[in-house]
Amino acid sequence: MVLVGRTRASLAAAAQSIGLAAAYVVHDVTDLDGAATLVRQAAEKAGQPVSILVNNAGIHLKRCVEETTPEEFQSVLTTHVCAAHALNRAVIPGMKERGHGVILFTASMASFLGVPLVTAYSAAKTAYLGLTRSLAAELSPVGIRVNAIAPGWIESPMLQKALAGDERRKNKILGRTPMGKFGEASDIGWAAVYLASPAAKFVTGVCLPVDGGASIGF
């Protein structure tokens, strides 16, 4: 497993918590031209070609639409969508050559639900659904499965920032979540393990909500 991020200290701590199987590469995914170099470095760190790619990088922007500048909108799209496209392009040729591979996207409840004040984020996460379907249709015949996970509201610094000072929104989220609570990061991790494993060998082109029922709650 090779972790990728911009902050060396955070990566080192995360890799240490996982154990000897984890390594890391410091990289900013918005450096689109550096995607091929990153994939090569990751393969060197792992001692084998990249067989599973998890497109998980993201930033959040909570702002009303008329105050969201084109530059801010593009920044969110670049981090989520353009960076994922660059990484996909970098890993797919090798996966095709080997006849197998897994690509995962981290979608969101904003991929399905109309969430106010996050137009850029919603656009980016909804784009993941189209990418998942299109890439699955294109790549599954050559042995590459493509799926997405849509986390519900998961305890994290990003969630805390999004709900800061907005008790009404927090209560609204919990009120429409049948399980009545926020999820944990491990809930998403186990879903990713499943979709990347042979247990999901006949699963492609789907987006799996891991949301405590939020996407179907009333």
Residue positions annotated with a catalytic role: 121
Q: Spell out the residues 6+ positions from residue 192 whose beta carbon is closer than 8 angstroms to its own.
A: 54, 104, 149
Q: Spell out the residues 6+ positions from residue 166 whose beta carbon is closer than 8 angstroms to its own.
A: none
CA distance 196 to 17: 21
CA distance 33 to 115: 32
Taking 3-state DSSP, the helix, strand and coil percentages for the chain, each rounded to the nearest 5, stand at 55, 15, 30
At residue 176, what is the residue type? R
Strand stretches in the chain, DSSP E? 2-5, 23-26, 52-55, 101-106, 144-151, 207-210
For residue 144, what are the β-bridge partners?
101
